[in-house]
Structure 1
Amino acid sequence: MAFLVAGTLQVASQMADARQSLERKGKYGLQGPRVALILSSPGVLDSTVAVLEGVFRSLGFESCQKREASLQGFLGELAGFREQLDALGGPVGCALVALVAPRGQLRQPQQLVWELNRCRALWGCPKVFLLLSTTPGAAPEPGAFLTGLSQLCGRFPHWSLLQLLTEVFYRTAKESEASYCPVLRSSLRGALCLGDVEPWEPQPEPSLSTHYELSGTRAALLLSVIRGRPGAQHDVEALGGLCQALNFKTTLRTDPTAQAFQEEMAQFREGLDARRVPVSCALVALMAHGGPQGQLLGADGQEVQPEALVQELSRCRALWGCPKIFLLQACRGGQRDAGVGPTALPWFRRWLQASPTTPSHADILQIYADAQGRSSGGPTPGSSDQADILMVYAAAEGCVAYRDDEKGSDFIQTLVEVLRAYPGGELLELLTEVNRRVCELEVLGPDGQRRRKACLEIRSSLRRRLCLQAGLCPLPFRGC
């Protein structure tokens, strides 16, 4: 019995240390072993697997399991990997999984992601998924993405993984002459530094060529349904004030119908293309009720697909090569997340000085890339017309986005708070900090007295670092 209590206290202490580290410095503590797995379908080149092994070693993963399986067997292999980790009997510092398959065949990667996300040993720990597509008959040499990732992991181990990926995206786009760009999806709650270095050492600065140049006009479009959404007006006021402080010329439309969402976006694009002065950045906020499949609902109750609005702006000639930021404050389904983590007695919870649960969708990073670095046909997540886009969802896929009648939404209000405090920070880092703060909140939802958790989803194909106000105070955890 004493052994069980001691073991429980040890695990809880490790989780508390990791959580306090995340809160203090805005980064993951990475206590526990790092585990890695490469799953490849038959026909994947040995050279691709060899480069991945080198990347994993550069990131501090001493051992890496390699398995070849059919696409139908990926789920079973991940289930076995999950069971293996849970059998360790303690927390794992980080998991890194590479899934390699021919282009277009890995059609439901989320099912694979959720299989590993069920792992109890990884509660509150970062889980990184590298989803690589390959082209049959392509040259055996790895493309710009894998080459750049391999080089940078060894040269700049101090950088956070999001910083490394942004630099890799830049190099990939440069080598492919902007015909191709990888994409990442993140619900990380802090900076993830995997290099085997002391976290307090100084961090090298990226080249200035990898920053977006923002000397031109900045334009913002705020589309918000106010009717039937108590507290939404607070979000409009807060976001409008932030845009003004960041020098965005802002257009506001309230209570748009579904058709008006599309018309306003088209007019916004046409207005930017008609400008005689250069445009350097666009910000679009879409705030409304959401449908069961992530649709936006206009003031008339009709649906509009947010992807169609993104595609409309990506056609803007004035914004080619410029960052396009989308903020989506809307439900993406009806799931209410109670969070995951160990159960604990009240005194134990007070001893931890924090909620023992984290959102079940948190701490996941997915990277979609092509092993050969080639563009694919059509508007796929890695094609050039989807580059330079940053999308931030207030809720994870399938989940409810919360809004307070008196204060506004957790996402928008926290976003404004962080950007006003650190206007000179790199935007992906700032958004990770926003997610950390949102994940700490506990919401008493309308479905009863049970507390609920929320988590953002950040999607980025940015090819440069994005700082909305240069030369001002960076985030305190920047040097990781």
Structure 2
Amino acid sequence: MAFLVSGTLRVAAQIADAQDSLGRKGKYSVQGPRVALTLSSPEVSVSTVALLESVFQTLGFESRQRREASVQDFLEELTGFREQLDAHRAPMGCVLVALVAPNGQLRQPQKLVRELSGCEALRGCPKVFLLLSSAPGASPKPGTFLTGLSELCGRCPHWSLLQLLTEVFGRTAGESSGATYCPVLQSSLRGALCLGDVEPWGPEPEPSPSAQYDLSGDRAALFLAVIRDRPGAQRDVEALGGLCQTLGFETTLRTDPTAQAFQEELAQFQERLDTRRSPVSCALVALMAHGGPQGQLLGADGQEVQPEALVQELSRCRALRGCPKIFLLQACRGGHRDAGMGPTALPWFWRWLRAPPATPSHADVLQIYADAQGSSSGGFTPGSCDQADILRVYAAAEGCVAYRDEKGSDFIQTLVEVLRATPEGDLLELLTEVNRQVCELDVRGPDCSERRKACLEIRSSLRRRLCLQA
């Protein structure tokens, strides 16, 4: 009897482990089946689709499906793909979906992403979306992004996908009409993701000096924080201020700004940087306030300001051209409270096995927005700013609540702990670790007694690795 119970527990524990693909702390285990799907509109060139197939094969995707459909039918195709995966009734290793369409036709890509994110077979597994725009009448040959991705996937299979994409972004970025075009990635990954057909946990690659941002110049930080009626906000300001001082940032703090003051302070910050005699190598802006239902920031006067307008304000700074610009946004982006996705077995059974906690519904997704021909059309880029060298970190997924209590916010406090522990690390990888820790938390808001989950959203157009160690 004891042998039977022991065997049952062992098998059940293996099933529980398979439900969460973060098999090792901070690193995805992608040993299960890998499935890739390409959805392309009829206008997309054959050579572009063929190169995508080659990239998928290089990355070790055994099953590679390809379908041609109008953009209006993409959602229906993804629904069928999801049903196919759920019918498989076994945990997956990873899924990669490429959506290729002419510029401007894929207007609401988040609907397509959400359709697959709810797939039970993919719970806890990395889901990668490659959203490629293609200009009508453009060259049939794939551009710099796809060719660079193909070459690096074959040459550096042991790199994490975020490292690999940053290198590709550096090769792809180009000047057009006075602005810098660059692909953008949007990540809610909770761990390092390596898709090469090699042992992924070998030594990390040593970056060359040219592959990292040069931060030998001045560093400047601006904190715009609404403290009034936001318990714990002062704790966040103090913790982040101490971290910035350790990392060598000259910090300016403005508390309880109105909506207009948010814009004015950003404009003055930009002017001060442009008129400095010594070169500036990095800027950090922390925006902490209540958030509106559509992701707006609310000033101390209750009026709204769009965070994208603040990002654009700093992107025009001449002193920061080619330098990293970091935005930390601690604010709600809507009123949704995510209960997460949990195991489907009997609750008492999973509690007995100490199964992994519920996974936030928005976690484990990586979206890459790029142009198939490498031009500056920016057809799929989220937001209104497509310039390079910008890193935005949101404390909550789109439409969701950002949690905070008297001790501070989960996002800022965890960020400070992680960066203090490993200041020499690549910032994108460190932020992924911050997200992992935040996703593991069970939170209860002041007006909600049930457990809820939180998940960060990281948007990056960085072209080099970014290390903040002073």
TM-score by length of 1: 0.92
2:353 maps to which residue?
A: 351
1:256 maps to which residue?
A: 257
1:145 maps to which residue?
A: 145
Read off the aligned partner of 2:347 and give its amino acid letter: L
CA distance change for structure 1 residues 387 and 256 in 2, over 3 Å: closer, same or farther? same
1:141 positional shift: 1.5
2:451 maps to which residue?
A: 451
1:416 maps to which residue?
A: 416
Number of equivalenced pairs? 462
1:16 positional shift: 1.9
1:342 positional shift: 1.4
Read off the aligned partner of 1:334 and give its amino acid letter: G
* Structure 1 Cα separation of the partners of residues 175 and 315 of structure 2: 21
* Structure 2 Cα separation of the partners of residues 129 and 378 of structure 1: 15
**Secondary structure, counterpart of 1:386 in structure 2:** coil
CA shift digits 1:75-112 (9 cap, x unpaired): 00000000000000111110000000001111000000
1:403 maps to which residue?
A: 404
Counterparts in 2 of 1:364-383, with a 5 A limit?
Answer: 364-376=365-377
Counterparts in 2 of 1:168-317, with a 5 A limit?
Answer: 168-173=168-173, 179-317=180-318
* Structure 1 Cα separation of the partners of residues 260 and 13 of structure 2: 52
* Structure 1 Cα separation of the partners of residues 209 and 384 of structure 2: 25
* Structure 1 Cα separation of the partners of residues 17 and 83 of structure 2: 24
2:467 maps to which residue?
A: 467
CA shift digits 1:153-201 (9 cap, x unpaired): 0011100100000000001126989842100000000000001111332
CA distance change for structure 1 residues 455 and 377 in 2, over 3 Å: closer, same or farther? closer
* Structure 1 Cα separation of the partners of residues 314 and 360 of structure 2: 32
* Structure 2 Cα separation of the partners of residues 292 and 36 of structure 1: 35
**Secondary structure, counterpart of 2:173 in structure 1:** helix
**Secondary structure, counterpart of 2:181 in structure 1:** coil
* Structure 2 Cα separation of the partners of residues 211 and 32 of structure 1: 34
Instruction: Give unpaired runs (5+ residues) of structure 2.
Output: 1-6
**Secondary structure, counterpart of 2:110 in structure 1:** helix
Read off the aligned partner of 2:146 and give its amino acid letter: L
CA shift digits 1:403-461 (9 cap, x unpaired): 012x1000000000000000000000000000000000000223332100000000000
Between 285-294 and 178-187, the greater mean CA deviation after superposition: 178-187
* Structure 2 Cα separation of the partners of residues 186 and 449 of structure 1: 29
* Structure 1 Cα separation of the partners of residues 186 and 11 of structure 2: 33
1:213 positional shift: 0.5
1:232 positional shift: 0.6
Is 2:158–2:196's contact at 8 Å kept on the other side of the alignment? yes
CA distance change for structure 1 residues 58 and 383 in 2, over 3 Å: closer, same or farther? farther
1:323 maps to which residue?
A: 324
**Secondary structure, counterpart of 1:362 in structure 2:** coil
1:320 positional shift: 0.5
Counterparts in 2 of 1:432-451, with a 5 A limit?
Answer: 432-451=432-451
CA shift digits 1:45-88 (9 cap, x unpaired): 00000000010011110221000001110000000000000000
1:351 positional shift: 1.8
Read off the aligned partner of 1:326 and give its amino acid letter: F
Is 1:181–1:382's contact at 8 Å kept on the other side of the alignment? no
* Structure 1 Cα separation of the partners of residues 396 and 379 of structure 2: 28
1:377 positional shift: 7.7
* Structure 2 Cα separation of the partners of residues 7 and 30 of structure 1: 25
Between 382-391 and 246-255, the greater mean CA deviation after superposition: 382-391
1:474 maps to which residue?
A: none
* Structure 2 Cα separation of the partners of residues 11 and 186 of structure 1: 31
Between 139-148 and 285-294, the greater mean CA deviation after superposition: 139-148
1:31 positional shift: 3.6
* Structure 2 Cα separation of the partners of residues 20 and 46 of structure 1: 34
1:15 positional shift: 4.2
* Structure 2 Cα separation of the partners of residues 285 and 425 of structure 1: 20
1:381 positional shift: 5.3
Read off the aligned partner of 2:136 and give its amino acid letter: P
Read off the aligned partner of 2:189 and give its amino acid letter: L
* Structure 2 Cα separation of the partners of residues 411 and 317 of structure 1: 30
Is 2:360–2:439's contact at 8 Å kept on the other side of the alignment? yes
**Secondary structure, counterpart of 1:468 in structure 2:** coil
* Structure 2 Cα separation of the partners of residues 276 and 29 of structure 1: 49
**Secondary structure, counterpart of 2:272 in structure 1:** helix
* Structure 2 Cα separation of the partners of residues 67 and 276 of structure 1: 56
2:3 maps to which residue?
A: none
**Secondary structure, counterpart of 1:256 in structure 2:** coil
* Structure 1 Cα separation of the partners of residues 390 and 205 of structure 2: 26
**Secondary structure, counterpart of 1:25 in structure 2:** coil
Read off the aligned partner of 1:141 and give its amino acid letter: K
1:391 maps to which residue?
A: 392
Is 1:375–1:383's contact at 8 Å kept on the other side of the alignment? no
2:4 maps to which residue?
A: none
1:332 maps to which residue?
A: 333
Read off the aligned partner of 1:127 and give its amino acid letter: K
* Structure 2 Cα separation of the partners of residues 115 and 394 of structure 1: 23
2:26 maps to which residue?
A: 26
CA shift digits 1:232-279 (9 cap, x unpaired): 110000000000000000000111111111111110000000101100
Between 200-209 and 458-467, the greater mean CA deviation after superposition: 200-209
1:84 maps to which residue?
A: 84
CA distance change for structure 1 residues 379 and 84 in 2, over 3 Å: closer, same or farther? closer
* Structure 2 Cα separation of the partners of residues 212 and 18 of structure 1: 38
CA distance change for structure 1 residues 445 and 294 in 2, over 3 Å: closer, same or farther? same
CA shift digits 1:219-242 (9 cap, x unpaired): 000010000001111000000000
Read off the aligned partner of 2:191 and give its amino acid letter: G
* Structure 1 Cα separation of the partners of residues 383 and 41 of structure 2: 21
* Structure 1 Cα separation of the partners of residues 22 and 85 of structure 2: 23
* Structure 1 Cα separation of the partners of residues 429 and 225 of structure 2: 26
Is 2:270–2:317's contact at 8 Å kept on the other side of the alignment? yes
CA shift digits 1:102-140 (9 cap, x unpaired): 011110000000111111000010000000000121112
1:348 positional shift: 2.4
1:11 positional shift: 7.3
* Structure 2 Cα separation of the partners of residues 55 and 92 of structure 1: 19
1:30 positional shift: 1.5
Counterparts in 2 of 1:154-169, with a 5 A limit?
Answer: 154-169=154-169
List, as ranges, runs of 4+ consecutive aligned residues in structure 1 with deviation greater than 3 Å. Answer: 6-12, 17-22, 174-179, 377-385
1:20 positional shift: 8.0
1:430 maps to which residue?
A: 430
